Structures are given as structure tokens and as C-alpha cells.
Amino acid sequence: MVRTCRALLPVLLLALLVAALGTACGGSSDPAPAGPDAAAAAVPDAVSAAEAGELFQTGGYTLVDVRETVETDQQQVEGSLLIPLGEVEARMGEVPDDRPVLVLCRSGSRAVPAAEAMRAAGRQATVVEGGIVAWAEAGLPYVGAAPS
């Protein structure tokens, strides 16, 4: 019995190593999620401004602008939810949990930590790459001065 266990030990260790590497490298030992979890899995971490514009205009996504008030006073996307980055965690209750969220800032850098905080709180959050600058360059609608 001891010899059999010792003989199987390398095989079991190899199987565990392969499973761990597969998961760490993007694979999964679990089947693809079904139902509401499948929709969450389909939400990308980031999209281009053009893609974000299409998603927002369909009405299936909420756009959360995490720029400071002084910035959103200069220009903003109509219908967006304005929550400065420093207030995201305190105002998480305002971020919808029943649909995906697009996270917008000036250039995309502040949207990353905001989206990470939203994901940690169970929201489906996607960063708008290039922020409001890319949004304007893509010819998408906004109100106010041209972003710089």
C-alpha cells in the first residue's frame, strides 16, 4: 500500500500542477458559467471609446464618469452618472448592480482603479480606454468644451 501511494504521488502532484497552471494562465477547470454569471463573464475589462459609445447608446450599460466636478463642469456625456474617483467607494450604492457599467475619466487612467473598486464590490465594470478625450475623438456626443 505504501509503495502504491508513493508511486501515485508524482502523478497526483503533476495533475495538481497542470490544473494550477491552467487556471493561472487563463484556463479553468470549471465549466463555463451559465445564467446571470455568464453575462458577467462576457463583460470585458476595457473597451474602446467607439465600442463604449455603442454600448451606452443601447441603454444596456450605465456610464459612470469618475472625473472631478471641475472637469465634468467643462464637458460631460449626457445621461452619465458623475462620481469623482475619490468618492467611488463611499457612493458605491449609486452604482447599478443590475447592469454593466462603463467607467470614464479624462484619459483612462483613473477609470482603472475605479473599475477595480466596482468589480470588488460585485459590479460589472468596463474601462473606457482613452476616456473623454477618446470619446470626443470618436465623434461621440457630449456637452461642453472640447476635452484636452
- The HSE-up count of residue 27 (CA atoms within 13 Å, CB side) is 9
CB 138 within 8 A of CB 56: no
CB 102 within 8 A of CB 63: yes
Which of 49, 64, 88, 105 is the catalytic position?
A: 105
Q: Give the type of residue at 101.
A: V
Q: Is 5 an annotated catalytic residue?
A: no
Active site residues: 105
